[in-house]
Protein backbone atom coordinates (compact mmCIF):
# COMPACT_ATOMS: atom_id res chain seq x y z
CA UNK A 1 0.00 0.00 0.00
CA UNK A 2 1.33 3.43 -0.94
CA UNK A 3 -0.02 6.18 1.28
CA UNK A 4 0.53 9.89 0.77
CA UNK A 5 0.18 12.21 3.73
CA UNK A 6 -0.69 15.69 2.49
CA UNK A 7 0.25 18.85 4.38
CA UNK A 8 -0.99 21.77 2.30
CA UNK A 9 -0.98 25.39 3.52
CA UNK A 10 -3.43 26.39 0.79
CA UNK A 11 -7.02 25.55 1.69
CA UNK A 12 -8.24 26.39 -1.80
CA UNK A 13 -5.88 23.83 -3.34
CA UNK A 14 -6.04 20.99 -0.82
CA UNK A 15 -9.12 19.15 -2.05
CA UNK A 16 -8.10 19.44 -5.69
CA UNK A 17 -4.72 17.98 -4.82
CA UNK A 18 -6.27 15.08 -2.92
CA UNK A 19 -8.56 14.35 -5.86
CA UNK A 20 -5.63 14.25 -8.27
CA UNK A 21 -3.67 11.90 -6.03
CA UNK A 22 -6.55 9.49 -5.48
CA UNK A 23 -7.23 9.45 -9.21
CA UNK A 24 -3.58 8.51 -9.68
CA UNK A 25 -4.07 5.56 -7.35
CA UNK A 26 -2.67 6.73 -4.01
CA UNK A 27 -4.31 6.37 -0.61
CA UNK A 28 -4.33 9.87 0.87
CA UNK A 29 -4.52 11.27 4.38
CA UNK A 30 -4.89 14.99 5.01
CA UNK A 31 -2.79 16.46 7.78
CA UNK A 32 -4.42 19.67 8.91
CA UNK A 33 -2.11 22.66 8.84
CA UNK A 34 -4.39 25.33 10.22
CA UNK A 35 -3.69 27.43 7.14
CA UNK A 36 -5.91 30.36 6.30
CA UNK A 37 -8.09 30.34 3.23
CA UNK A 38 -6.52 32.22 0.32
CA UNK A 39 -8.25 33.96 -2.57
CA UNK A 40 -8.73 32.07 -5.82
CA UNK A 41 -5.51 32.14 -7.76
CA UNK A 42 -3.50 32.85 -4.61
CA UNK A 43 -2.00 29.39 -4.44
CA UNK A 44 0.54 27.70 -6.70
CA UNK A 45 -0.91 25.92 -9.73
CA UNK A 46 -1.07 22.16 -9.23
CA UNK A 47 -0.52 19.38 -11.79
CA UNK A 48 -3.53 18.29 -13.78
CA UNK A 49 -4.96 14.83 -13.14
CA UNK A 50 -3.62 12.12 -15.43
CA UNK A 51 -5.56 11.47 -18.61
CA UNK A 52 -8.32 8.86 -18.39
CA UNK A 53 -6.51 6.60 -20.87
CA UNK A 54 -3.23 6.64 -18.94
CA UNK A 55 -2.28 3.32 -17.29
CA UNK A 56 -2.39 3.10 -13.50
CA UNK A 57 0.81 4.06 -11.73
CA UNK A 58 3.09 1.20 -10.76
CA UNK A 59 2.99 0.47 -7.05
CA UNK A 60 -0.28 2.30 -6.43
CA UNK A 61 -2.92 0.44 -4.46
CA UNK A 62 -5.93 2.72 -4.15
CA UNK A 63 -8.82 2.40 -6.58
CA UNK A 64 -9.42 5.29 -8.92
CA UNK A 65 -11.80 7.82 -7.41
CA UNK A 66 -11.54 6.46 -3.85
CA UNK A 67 -12.32 9.09 -1.26
CA UNK A 68 -9.42 10.45 0.75
CA UNK A 69 -9.14 9.78 4.44
CA UNK A 70 -9.29 12.90 6.58
CA UNK A 71 -7.34 12.97 9.81
CA UNK A 72 -6.44 15.56 12.43
CA UNK A 73 -2.88 16.70 12.99
CA UNK A 74 -2.74 14.22 15.86
CA UNK A 75 -2.47 11.52 13.18
CA UNK A 76 1.22 12.43 13.06
CA UNK A 77 1.91 10.12 15.97
CA UNK A 78 0.66 7.08 14.03
CA UNK A 79 3.38 5.75 11.79
CA UNK A 80 2.30 3.92 8.60
CA UNK A 81 5.28 1.68 9.21
CA UNK A 82 3.19 -0.01 11.88
CA UNK A 83 0.57 -0.79 9.24
CA UNK A 84 2.98 -2.27 6.72
CA UNK A 85 2.51 0.73 4.47
CA UNK A 86 4.92 2.59 2.24
CA UNK A 87 4.41 6.28 2.86
CA UNK A 88 5.37 9.64 1.44
CA UNK A 89 4.71 13.09 2.87
CA UNK A 90 3.71 15.70 0.30
CA UNK A 91 4.08 19.27 1.58
CA UNK A 92 2.79 22.33 -0.25
CA UNK A 93 3.98 25.08 2.13
CA UNK A 94 3.75 28.83 2.17
CA UNK A 95 7.48 29.42 1.91
CA UNK A 96 7.11 32.81 3.58
CA UNK A 97 5.96 31.08 6.75
CA UNK A 98 8.86 30.66 9.11
CA UNK A 99 9.81 27.18 10.20
CA UNK A 100 7.98 25.33 7.43
CA UNK A 101 11.08 23.33 6.44
CA UNK A 102 11.83 22.20 9.99
CA UNK A 103 8.17 21.27 10.45
CA UNK A 104 8.15 19.21 7.25
CA UNK A 105 11.35 17.37 8.20
CA UNK A 106 10.10 16.61 11.70
CA UNK A 107 6.75 15.43 10.39
CA UNK A 108 8.35 13.16 7.78
CA UNK A 109 10.57 11.61 10.45
CA UNK A 110 7.65 11.02 12.83
CA UNK A 111 5.68 9.33 10.04
CA UNK A 112 8.69 7.40 8.70
CA UNK A 113 7.76 8.84 5.31
CA UNK A 114 9.82 10.12 2.40
CA UNK A 115 9.42 13.86 1.82
CA UNK A 116 8.31 15.62 -1.37
CA UNK A 117 7.84 19.40 -1.36
CA UNK A 118 6.00 21.46 -3.99
CA UNK A 119 6.56 25.23 -4.08
CA UNK A 120 6.32 28.10 -6.53
CA UNK A 121 8.96 27.87 -9.25
CA UNK A 122 10.75 30.99 -8.01
CA UNK A 123 10.97 29.48 -4.50
CA UNK A 124 12.59 26.19 -5.58
CA UNK A 125 16.25 27.26 -4.99
CA UNK A 126 15.49 28.58 -1.49
CA UNK A 127 13.48 25.47 -0.60
CA UNK A 128 16.26 23.18 -1.83
CA UNK A 129 18.73 25.12 0.30
CA UNK A 130 16.58 24.72 3.42
CA UNK A 131 16.15 21.00 2.83
CA UNK A 132 19.69 20.22 1.72
CA UNK A 133 21.03 16.99 3.18
CA UNK A 134 17.59 15.80 4.27
CA UNK A 135 16.81 13.53 1.33
CA UNK A 136 13.78 15.61 0.31
CA UNK A 137 12.68 16.16 -3.28
CA UNK A 138 11.62 19.70 -4.24
CA UNK A 139 9.50 20.47 -7.30
CA UNK A 140 7.99 23.54 -8.87
CA UNK A 141 4.21 23.70 -8.71
CA UNK A 142 3.92 23.11 -12.46
CA UNK A 143 5.60 19.70 -12.22
CA UNK A 144 3.98 17.11 -14.47
CA UNK A 145 1.60 14.60 -12.84
CA UNK A 146 3.76 11.67 -13.95
CA UNK A 147 6.92 13.19 -12.47
CA UNK A 148 5.17 14.02 -9.18
CA UNK A 149 3.73 10.51 -8.96
CA UNK A 150 7.13 8.98 -9.61
CA UNK A 151 8.69 11.16 -6.94
CA UNK A 152 6.03 10.12 -4.43
CA UNK A 153 6.57 6.44 -5.16
CA UNK A 154 10.33 6.88 -4.76
CA UNK A 155 9.80 8.83 -1.54
CA UNK A 156 7.56 6.05 -0.23
CA UNK A 157 10.36 3.54 -0.83
CA UNK A 158 12.75 5.84 0.99
CA UNK A 159 10.23 6.05 3.83
CA UNK A 160 10.16 2.26 4.00
CA UNK A 161 13.94 2.22 4.46
CA UNK A 162 13.64 4.97 7.08
CA UNK A 163 11.05 2.93 8.97
CA UNK A 164 13.30 -0.14 8.93
CA UNK A 165 16.20 1.92 10.23
CA UNK A 166 14.01 3.42 12.94
CA UNK A 167 12.90 -0.03 14.07
CA UNK A 168 16.52 -1.20 14.25
CA UNK A 169 17.54 1.88 16.24
CA UNK A 170 14.66 1.26 18.64
CA UNK A 171 15.66 -2.38 19.06
CA UNK A 172 19.29 -1.47 19.76
CA UNK A 173 18.24 1.26 22.19
CA UNK A 174 16.06 -1.18 24.11
CA UNK A 175 18.90 -3.71 24.21
CA UNK A 176 21.34 -1.08 25.47
CA UNK A 177 18.88 0.09 28.14
CA UNK A 178 18.45 -3.52 29.28
CA UNK A 179 22.22 -4.08 29.50
CA UNK A 180 22.62 -0.91 31.55
CA UNK A 181 19.85 -1.98 33.91
CA UNK A 182 21.36 -5.45 34.34
CA UNK A 183 24.76 -3.87 35.00
CA UNK A 184 23.24 -1.72 37.75
CA UNK A 185 21.62 -4.81 39.28
CA UNK A 186 24.98 -6.62 39.26
CA UNK A 187 26.65 -3.69 41.03
CA UNK A 188 23.87 -3.72 43.63
CA UNK A 189 24.36 -7.46 44.27
CA UNK A 190 28.12 -7.02 44.59
CA UNK A 191 27.87 -4.05 46.94
CA UNK A 192 24.98 -5.16 49.14
CA UNK A 193 25.08 -8.95 49.07
CA UNK A 194 28.81 -9.47 48.85
CA UNK A 195 28.68 -11.40 45.59
CA UNK A 196 31.48 -11.39 43.07
CA UNK A 197 30.72 -10.00 39.62
CA UNK A 198 30.60 -13.53 38.22
CA UNK A 199 28.22 -14.68 40.95
CA UNK A 200 25.98 -11.69 40.35
CA UNK A 201 25.90 -12.44 36.62
CA UNK A 202 25.05 -16.12 37.20
CA UNK A 203 22.41 -15.19 39.77
CA UNK A 204 20.58 -12.92 37.31
CA UNK A 205 20.85 -15.41 34.44
CA UNK A 206 19.67 -18.36 36.56
CA UNK A 207 16.79 -16.41 38.11
CA UNK A 208 15.63 -15.31 34.67
CA UNK A 209 15.77 -18.88 33.38
CA UNK A 210 14.17 -20.52 36.44
CA UNK A 211 11.30 -18.04 36.63
CA UNK A 212 10.98 -17.58 32.85
CA UNK A 213 11.40 -13.85 33.13
CA UNK A 214 13.34 -11.42 30.96
CA UNK A 215 16.60 -10.24 32.49
CA UNK A 216 15.19 -6.71 32.57
CA UNK A 217 12.39 -7.82 34.90
CA UNK A 218 14.85 -9.64 37.17
CA UNK A 219 17.11 -6.58 37.29
CA UNK A 220 14.21 -4.29 38.15
CA UNK A 221 13.15 -6.61 40.95
CA UNK A 222 16.68 -6.71 42.35
CA UNK A 223 16.95 -2.95 42.33
CA UNK A 224 13.54 -2.64 43.93
CA UNK A 225 14.42 -5.12 46.68
CA UNK A 226 17.82 -3.69 47.57
Give all domains of the chain, ordered by start, each with its CATH number. 2-167 (3.40.50), 168-225 (1.10.10.10)
What is the average pLDDT across 164-176?
Answer: 82
Query: What pLDDT sits at residue 188?
Result: 93
Percentage of the chain surpassing pLDDT 70?
73
Cα distances (Å, whole numbers) of residue 107 to 77, 155, 179: 9, 14, 31
- Give phi and psi for 85, each to the nearest 5: -100, 150
Q: Is the dihedral of CA 46, 65, 57, 73 positive or negative?
A: positive
Query: What pLDDT sits at residue 139?
Result: 93
pLDDT at 88 over 90: no
In angstroms, the CA 176 to CA 182 distance is 10
The answer to which of 11-25, 27-41, 79-93, 151-165 has the lowest mean pLDDT is 27-41
Confidence of residue 86 (pLDDT cuts 50, 70, 90): confident
Confidence of residue 33 (pLDDT cuts 50, 70, 90): low
Query: What pLDDT sits at residue 162?
Result: 67
Query: What pLDDT sits at residue 39?
Result: 36
pLDDT tens digit sequence for 217-226: 999 999 987 6
Query: What pLDDT sits at residue 72?
Result: 37
- The set of residues, in sequence order, having a beta carbon less than 8 Å from that of 94 and lying 6+ positions away, is 9, 10, 35, 100
Query: What pLDDT sits at residue 226?
Result: 64
Most confident range (mean pLDDT) of 60-64, 82-86, 169-173, 187-191 is: 187-191
pLDDT at 195 over 90: yes
pLDDT tens digit sequence for 46-83: 444 333 233 333 333 332 233 333 333 333 334 444 44
Query: What pLDDT sits at residue 163?
Result: 66
Amino acid sequence: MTRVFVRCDYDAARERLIDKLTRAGFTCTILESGAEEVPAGGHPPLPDAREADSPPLSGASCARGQAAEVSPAARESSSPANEGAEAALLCVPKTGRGGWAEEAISLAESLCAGLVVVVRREDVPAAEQKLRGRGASVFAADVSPAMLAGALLSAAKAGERLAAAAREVCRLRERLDCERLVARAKVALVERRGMTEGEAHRYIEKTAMDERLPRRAVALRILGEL
